[in-house]
Each structure stands twice: as C-alpha cells, then as structure tokens.
Amino acid sequence: MCNKDRIEAVVFDMDGVIFDSEKLVIDCWIPVAEKYHIPDIEAACHDCLGINAALTREKMKQRYGEDFPYDTYKAEMSALFFERTKNGNLPQKPGVKELLGFLKEKKIKVALASSTRREVVVRELTEGNLISYFDEVVCGDMVSKSKPNPEIFLKACELLCVEPECAYAIEDSYNGIRSAYAAGMRPIMVPDMAEPTPEMEELSEQILPSLLDVKEYLESRIKK
C-alpha cells in the first residue's frame, strides 16, 4: 500500500491532452464528409473521443451502416491529417513541456496511455521532441480492450511498477476519465472537446483548465 500523499507516477492521454489534435482530426474529416455526403460527421467524431481504432470503426459502422466504407474514408482523412501535421507541425497543448519538465525534475515516473496506435504515437512524440520525457508508452494496439475499460491504464502502471492508487491520470475525454477511475487511479480532467458533466465531477479528483494548472496542483500536493 502506498502513501497517497506521495506522487509516484503520472500517466497521460495523448490526443487532446498533449497534442491539440482532436479538433484537427474533425477539421480533416469535414472535407471528406462533404465530398462523400456523410451527414453529422462532427457528432460522429465526438462520439468516438478517447476510444481506439477498432471501436471507432465499429461505432462509425453502427451510425452509418455496415456497408459504410469507413476504412477508405479514414485513410483519406488520415492522409490530410498527416500532411497538415508532418515534420513536427502538430500543435502542443499549452504547458505540456513545463509539466513534463517538472515531473522529470522531481523524478516522478511518466507514462503515456493513448488509444492511438503505437506507430503514430511514437512518430508524433518524436517529431514533437517529447518522447524522452516518457518512461513507458502504452498504445491502443498494445491492449485488447479500449477505454473506458481500465486495461490500458493498468498496463501503464504495471510497466512503471507503481500501484494505480499512487498514480495520477491526465485525461480530457469522458471515456478516458472512466478508464482511469476504473483502474483505481487519481484522474485529473483537463477538458478539450468535451465539457465536464456531473459524472466527470464525481469521477475526477480535479477538473483543471490547463496543464499549467495541473503543474501547480501537483506542486501543491508535493509540498504537503
């Protein structure tokens, strides 16, 4: 059993937490939707926040029908997204380097738990000069169950050799917060595309407006 006043690890989601990518994904879906007359694409994208590629595909098929050529349209969207973000042009959320630098200075273990597949995660972290901050990286194609199942966060804690109750999880999506809470971690929500709900207020230890506020909060916890 750990001392709950001690911060042993922080586990981050990536899209919408580290990178300002979720709005850009929607922006890249919009021209594809217009080209192929796909209705309500923004609502469809919001419904898929925080989940892995397999579950996203399943949800899109449920919404648009089994004959919906999701893989073809997704490939077209992904090509547009890559073109806009290649060579390190994917925008980072304010305060990300300050928070990661603070955790490194304090020798607090850091992991990533992203529903995105590993190839993309490693490329984006590398191009953003962030990968060196992470002790472990767990991705959507490394686990069998998607958020809100806790598997990805439990695996991250296992690889870091910390008990979940001694680790914070930084998330922006409802499914991410549900996943971290189910893992027994201490969730902090930093809202991006999804506004906090009463459920999120109940499941989160804190809801904070930015990663700079997360840094201040963790600093205050360390000083206690």
Tokens 């966060």 belong to which residue? Answer: 153
Distance CA 210, CA 208 (A): 6
Q: How many CB atoms lie within 10 A of CB 193?
A: 17
Please write down the HEC assignment for all residues of 18-59. CECCHHHHHHHHHHHHHHHCCCCHHHHHHHCCCCCHHHHHHH
Torsion angle in degrees (nearest 10) through CA of 135, 139, 143, 144 = 170
**Sequence-ordered list of residues with C-beta below 8 angstroms from that of 192, at least 6 positions apart, any chain:** 16, 17, 20, 22, 23, 93, 172, 173
Q: Residue count of the chain, please give it.
A: 224
**Would residue 13 show up in a list of annotated catalytic residues for this protein?**
yes
Handedness of CA 32, 35, 36, 38 (dihedral sign): positive
Tell me which of 5, 13, 67, 71 is the catalytic residue: 13
Cis preceding linkage at 148, omega within 30: yes
Distance CA 126, CA 139 (A): 15
The H-or-E segment that residue 186 falls in is strand 186-189
Instruction: Name the residues annotated as catalytic.
Output: 13
